[in-house]
A and B are shown apart, each in its own frame.
Chain A
Amino acid sequence: MNTLLEIEDLHVAYGLGSKRRSVLDGVSLTVDEGETVGVIGESGCGKSTLAKTIVGLAKIGGGSVCYRGTDVRTLSGPSLKEYGRRVQMVFQNSLASLNPRKTVFQTLETPLIVHGERDRRSRRRRIEDIADRVGLPNAMLQRRPHELSGGQRQRVGIGRALILNPQLVICDEPVSALDVSIQAQILNLLSDLRREQGLSYLFISHDLGVVRFIADRIFVIFAGRIIETADYQDLWRDPRHPYTRLLLAASLGESTPDRPGSPPPPSTGCRFRHRCPFAFGLCAEETPVLRDIGGGHRTACHLG
């Protein structure tokens, strides 16, 4: 299978001088054609920064992001525009990511205009077609975001991302702001669209329960580093890293030994060690690296 997106040793930091904080610290991952890759982690772990870096909303500090073998930093002009068409994003907060003064029609029309669709009738046809595919009745096209429900707004966000026929869609928590019964509708919609159009997704969420329904492979991020990655089934059945186990137990509602208000993750050694029930001397001295434990299941733990 062809690799669509290849991220190699990505570093991203925010802030300047003494306030500079590393957000992503050597993240590597790949997304193949037609594949859905899940990324999970807690708030502040860097998962949204990862999404932003891929679409060019955050600056790459080190390492590389390659799309079909081309480093995205080398893109400019028409090639950058083409990249923007191929790689689209669906945001978590559909109310904040849609322009409140534009109707659904205008929101869906903008990308077509930007990408040079000059024929008005052809634009209308494509808009009606995409609205139909994402399950928005035509009557909704003249409405503005505040007149839509959360689920409908998220359908608009998905429609906007798909109208240019992208290959890779970055979904940053696309269902976490939605009601339970609507979450299932949107996840089904994303799966249908993937099947129909051969899309790839990079699906970012804090909820292992949601990610495992859609992802083929899952990456777990803690404090800017990938600490475990595996096939969705292996990760679910046999989580190895203590943090993944903690996440799993928490999403099952089980009580965990985790301490509130733990000190911030240390910058050297294992970043999880202050919260880890199994931490020992080596964890402070040596940073664990991702090691293969068979079948593509990799974990960054000295005990792994």
Chain B
Amino acid sequence: MTAASGELLVIRDLVVERPGVRLLDSVALSIGKGETLSLVGESGCGKSLSALAILGLLPEGVRHARGEILFEDEDLARASPRRLRQIRGKSIGLVMQDPMSSLDPVLQIGAQMEEAIRTHLPLSARQARGRALELLDLAGVPEPLRRYGQYPHQLSGGLRQRVSIATAISCTPRLLIADEPTTALDVTTQVQVLDLLDRLRRELSMALLLITHDLSIVARRADKVCVMYAGRVVERAGVDDFFAHPRHPYSKGLLHSSLGAGTPLHHRFDRLPEITGSIASAAGQSGCPFAPRCDQAEAACGKTLSWPGTTDSRDHFSACLHPNPEESA
């Protein structure tokens, strides 16, 4: 993977650790301008941590050990805290899962939006207010003027998420990171929020890093997919290719056990396909982290020190010892 023109964000060989525990191991991915990349995996696999690493927001005691995070050819892993503060909220926006905890409960909607806007843009209070109202409207919040003076608890979950999206796009970022933006919402609201993100991405020509555990969202919204397991990227592909020919056993397991509405109904009286076991810590493990749960695992999978992967002709990466050709469809 090279930082070819058109790539907005390129992560290479990223390693993040806590003393004694490797949390992210050799993570590599890239997002092109205006593209949607979906980062998929189960809780604890390192999706959110990857997002925090990009923003330089690693929790206390967790450090960046190795690797580059190139955003517009600037290495964020080596950027100063001051520089990172300039980038966060301006060039890279963040939408979090739970808008109730990411919005300040004691500030009116308008006040917290203005704060974000005026941190980065040289606007007067009056101009910032105008901008905030404009953004609320853009994010599909009905009656922006009324909502402006309200507090987060007075809004429904869907509206709150629209407000945090409006805030995140206030400086027209080139990359928007959305970490499980719809997980806390009702199904009907989920679709609306995803539609909104999609529309804003097109209108503002932003790239979108969409973190989710829901494969049905990926299928409809993403250009590229990156599947993570136990802190590593196990599969990376274009979205159509991924769904047509998943290569890694873990991805296949996820696709099969997903209860998305697209799954045929005749499964009902059978047992649902499941991935047995649970995510074990990848700490100190030399081989493939998925080997203990994998039904194709061989002795070699647990031993291999270096952790190989293959990229096929369609630039479809799979970190599995088994080359696993087309038969998987």
- Which A residues have a C-beta under 8 Å from some C-beta of B? 42-43, 149-152, 179-185, 187-188, 191-192, 206-210, 212-214, 232-233, 236, 246-256, 258-261
Q: Which of A179, A182, A191, A252 has the most CB of B within 10 A?
A: A179
Within the complex, the shortest CB–CB distance from A268 to chain B, in Å, comes to 22
- Which B residues have a C-beta under 8 Å from some C-beta of A? 42-43, 140-143, 156-159, 162, 186-192, 194-195, 213-217, 219-220, 253-254, 257-263, 265, 267-268, 271-276, 278-279
CA of A207 to CA of B219, assembled, Å: 18
Q: With A181-B253, A213-B268, A247-B187 given, is the CB distance from A253 to B278 under 8 Å?
A: no
Give the residue of B140, B156, B213, B274 whose beta carbon is less than 8 angstroms from that of A185: B274
Within the complex, the shortest CB–CB distance from B283 to chain A, in Å, comes to 16
A-B contact count (CB 8 A): 116
A43 touches B259 (CB 8 A): no
CA of A218 to CA of B162, assembled, Å: 32
Give the residue of A180, A247, A260 whose beta carbon is less than 8 angstroms from that of B42: A180
The 10 tightest CB contacts between A and B, nearest first, are A179-B42, A181-B275, A184-B257, A184-B274, A184-B272, A42-B186, A250-B187, A209-B261, A251-B261, A261-B142
CA of A41 to CA of B272, assembled, Å: 23
CA of A185 to CA of B217, assembled, Å: 22
CA of A254 to CA of B262, assembled, Å: 11
Within the complex, the shortest CB–CB distance from A37 to chain B, in Å, comes to 15
- Nearest residue, chain A, Cβ from B257: A184
- Nearest residue, chain A, Cβ from B214: A180
Within the complex, the shortest CB–CB distance from A247 to chain B, in Å, comes to 6
Within the complex, the shortest CB–CB distance from A171 to chain B, in Å, comes to 15
CA of A181 to CA of B273, assembled, Å: 9
B265 touches A212 (CB 8 A): yes
CA of A137 to CA of B42, assembled, Å: 23
A188 touches B42 (CB 8 A): no
Within the complex, the shortest CB–CB distance from B43 to chain A, in Å, comes to 6
Within the complex, the shortest CB–CB distance from A215 to chain B, in Å, comes to 9
B268 touches A180 (CB 8 A): no
A182 touches B278 (CB 8 A): yes
In the assembled complex, which residues on chain B have CB atoms less than 8 Å from the CB atom of A260?
140-142, 158-159, 162, 189, 192
Q: With A207-B187, A260-B192 given, is the CB distance from A213 to B267 under 8 Å?
A: yes
Q: Which of B191, B214, B216, B254 has the most CB of A within 10 A?
A: B191
Give the residue of B140, B186, B257 whose beta carbon is less than 8 angstroms from that of A181: B257
CA of A254 to CA of B195, assembled, Å: 10
Q: With A179-B213, A180-B257 given, is the CB distance from A250 to B190 under 8 Å?
A: yes
A183 touches B257 (CB 8 A): yes
A188 touches B271 (CB 8 A): yes
CA of A2 to CA of B143, assembled, Å: 53
The contact sample of 30 A-B pairs, CB cut-off 8 A, is A42-B189, A150-B43, A180-B213, A180-B214, A180-B254, A180-B259, A181-B275, A183-B257, A184-B273, A185-B274, A185-B275, A185-B276, A188-B274, A192-B271, A208-B261, A212-B268, A214-B268, A233-B265, A249-B191, A250-B188, A253-B216, A253-B219, A256-B188, A258-B188, A260-B140, A260-B158, A260-B159, A260-B192, A261-B141, A261-B143
B220 touches A253 (CB 8 A): yes
Within the complex, the shortest CB–CB distance from B139 to chain A, in Å, comes to 10
B274 touches A181 (CB 8 A): yes
Within the complex, the shortest CB–CB distance from B189 to chain A, in Å, comes to 7
In the assembled complex, which residues on chain A have CB atoms less than 8 Å from the CB atom of B220?
253
A188 touches B187 (CB 8 A): no
In the assembled complex, which residues on chain B have CB atoms less than 8 Å from the CB atom of A232?
268
CA of A254 to CA of B194, assembled, Å: 10
CA of A255 to CA of B188, assembled, Å: 9
CA of A255 to CA of B158, assembled, Å: 15
In the assembled complex, which residues on chain B have CB atoms less than 8 Å from the CB atom of A208?
187, 261
Within the complex, the shortest CB–CB distance from B297 to chain A, in Å, comes to 16
